[in-house]
Structure 1
């Protein structure tokens, strides 16, 4: 694995032109999607923030559409090192895109959730909050994991009872790992598949609003 992944800054969708002094929420889409997908959540998010929806750096194998953060097929399927590479690429993108933001939060779906949590593990001080929807914490250890038990970054983890996309072993790992390494707000939505519901969006709104208020206090 390498640090050669690059996020195309020109593909990023921004919710507003003037972002001066505003907390920044970064959206990370799932496998086979792109920067346009989660941008549809902007009307459901609190006001008073800037939102950036980024395009993942990889292209899935044909005929899969869209983009991906890391492979989910073959020998490298969901490999923790590949998730780490994607997290580092995100941190490099943030060096330029979020240089003036008073606080940064991440909201990722599926693959994007895994990358969001991995970026938190790589540089927890960079983020005010993490929203992980229908995703998981990658197995394996990273150098900053022990420090998370003390700093306990704020994480919202939402998933559905009928989500059959994320392997159960990864859900079980995440259910044990997150309470030990974060200030966790966990929600399980009855009947929800690998998707986002209106009920979940309401919970996310409250969580993001709290981050915004703390960032601007």
Structure 2
């Protein structure tokens, strides 16, 4: 899932770098990003930077889950589904897992954050600790210190966390980060395939 002001043709370029056999889908966020952004989209309004209303993410997550329902009705349920997003999309990747943890094998959060508030699946996440990858730069100039601190506190108690730092990427993505995320997803998919159905 793309970041604020971007579009569905952005992160899909990473698809060839994901584990072999992965089918990737890149969605356009539901909101048109306001001026001065041109031809860009947003998953939720920014509001207070780093602390958007959780209800805004609930709305976006519901749209994604409805899309996923339609895809599964047409093509069947895939063996494993993971979420991956950058910045706002990273926040969405985590929030989808918080909303419907039973539907996703893992989440990849690239330079994103956890939103404050309670989500439907938070208790389940605390019990099952699904795998989550969090990559970032400590010098990220966009994500607030408060959002980073919240994410550092929340993810370890609600996931099996792989947290990596990538000095120099600022608010961006590096080749090494994507390589690490791909390796993480391969392990997560393998783990999901070997887990008994519940």
Identify which of 116, 121, 124 aligns with 1:139.
Answer: 116
C-alpha distance in 2 between matches for 1:62 and 1:91? 28
**Is 1:93 the counterpart of 2:67 in the alignment?**
yes
Which residue matches 1:83? 57
8 A contact 1:87–1:116 mirrored in 2 = no
C-alpha distance in 1 between matches for 2:182 and 2:121? 29
Q: CA offsets per residue over residues 78-122 of structure 1, 9 Å max, x none? A: 222111211121111111124431211110111111111111111
1:3-22 matched pairs, under 5 angstroms: none
**Is 1:115 the counterpart of 2:77 in the alignment?**
no
Q: CA offsets per residue over residues 64-84 of structure 1, 9 Å max, x none? A: 131110111479x72221112
**Is 1:59 the counterpart of 2:59 in the alignment?**
no
Structure 1 unaligned residues grouped into runs of 5+: 1-27
TM-score, length basis structure 1: 0.82
8 A contact 1:161–1:192 mirrored in 2 = no
Which residue matches 2:15? 42
8 A contact 1:84–1:115 mirrored in 2 = no
The alpha carbon displacement at 1:47 in A equals 1.2
Identify which of 18, 33, 49 aligns with 2:6.
Answer: 33
In structure 2, the CA distance between the partners of 1:126 and 1:192, relative to structure 1 (3 Å rule), is same
C-alpha distance in 1 between matches for 2:77 and 2:149? 37
Which residue matches 1:163? 140
8 A contact 2:166–2:177 mirrored in 1 = yes
8 A contact 2:112–2:143 mirrored in 1 = yes
Alignment length, in residue pairs? 189
The alpha carbon displacement at 1:212 in A equals 3.1
8 A contact 1:160–1:193 mirrored in 2 = yes
Runs (4+) of structure 1 exceeding 3 A deviation are 214-217
In structure 2, the CA distance between the partners of 1:123 and 1:179, relative to structure 1 (3 Å rule), is same
Which residue matches 1:194? 171
8 A contact 1:60–1:68 mirrored in 2 = yes
The alpha carbon displacement at 1:216 in A equals 4.9
TM-score, length basis structure 2: 0.89
Pairwise CA RMSD: 1.7
C-alpha distance in 1 between matches for 2:94 and 2:193? 23
